[in-house]
Amino acid sequence: MTTRPPELPDFGPTGPPLDSDLTQPVPSHWLNETATNVAPVVFDDEDDYRDPVNVRGVVGALAIGALVAVVMGVYCSTHEPTGEALNLAGFSDGIHAKAWLGSVAFVLAIVQVLSAMAMWGRLPGFEAGRGTAVLHRWSGRVAVVVSLPVAAHCLYALGFQAFDTRVLLHSLFGCFFYGLFVCKMVLLTRSRTPGWVVPVAGAAVFTALVVLWVTSSLWFFSEFGVSL
């Protein structure tokens, strides 16, 4: 004979009494199916162990900028200076044109710094708007265009020279400036870089330009007067 298991009493929706045998099977009508229906946990393999900071992008930008600076320094050191490479209408010679164009680039760089401070909320009493971003962008572009004839004159006419401290600093920071500038432009194309990287790169570019202006345009105007 087959022995049937004893039927469990129906205690209703409130469950068994406190003195019931909890080792017995639980009747189906006591179960809350919605409470036990838990959605499965899905892991995204692409986000697993992902580094939130693009360190390789920063290192790559630094490497490209350093390469540009080194190439410019090597070229300036190895080629024979021509003595004259810049001849613009309105200026008596290339040195005067270099001093004035360098000064224009320096003023535009100051505009860059002030507009960047405004956009980052670091300029007291000034609230940046869309026009501030446009000013920042175009002042940088014009500054680069103005600096190109100056760079061409330094590369072809003067080369890398080091006969005194001022000239050595000017030669070194001329190479550093364009290396840092290229580094900053590459950083702007990289995603997930730390928020402080681009401002630091911009500050480095501005510092290099200040040294260039002091050791060239300011020195020239101080020694030979302000003239065209």
Q: How do residues 8-24 score in pLDDT, each as one tens digit?
A: 555 555 555 555 555 55
Residue 134 lies in a domain: yes
Residue 195 lies in a domain: yes
Confidence of residue 43 (pLDDT cuts 50, 70, 90): very low
Confidence of residue 55 (pLDDT cuts 50, 70, 90): confident
Q: Domain count of the chain? A: 1
Residue 125 lies in a domain: yes
* Three-class secondary structure assignment of 48-105: CCCCCCCHHHHHHHHHHHHHHHHHHHHHHHHCCCCCCCCCCCCCCCHHHHHHHHHHHH
Q: How do residues 72-101 score in pLDDT, each as one tens digit?
A: 888 888 877 777 666 666 677 778 888 898
Residue 142 lies in a domain: yes
Residue 212 lies in a domain: yes
Residue 191 lies in a domain: yes
pTM for the structure as a whole: 0.69
Max Cα–Cα distance, the chain, nearest Å = 124
pLDDT at 47 over 50: no
Residue 110 lies in a domain: yes
Confidence of residue 228 (pLDDT cuts 50, 70, 90): confident
Q: What does the pLDDT read at residue 49? A: 44
Position with higher pLDDT, 13 vs 134: 134
Amino acid at 49: Y
Whether the CB-CB separation of 149 and 88 falls below 8 Å is answered with yes
Nearest C-alpha neighbor of 174 from the set 219, 214, 141, 140? 214
Helix (H, G, I), strand (E, B) or coil at 214: helix
Range of 43-47, 91-95, 162-166 with top mean pLDDT: 162-166
Residue 18 lies in a domain: no
Side-chain half-sphere CA neighbours of 211 within 13 A: 18
**Residue 191's domain spans which residues?**
53-218
Q: What is the mean pLDDT of residues 120-137?
A: 81
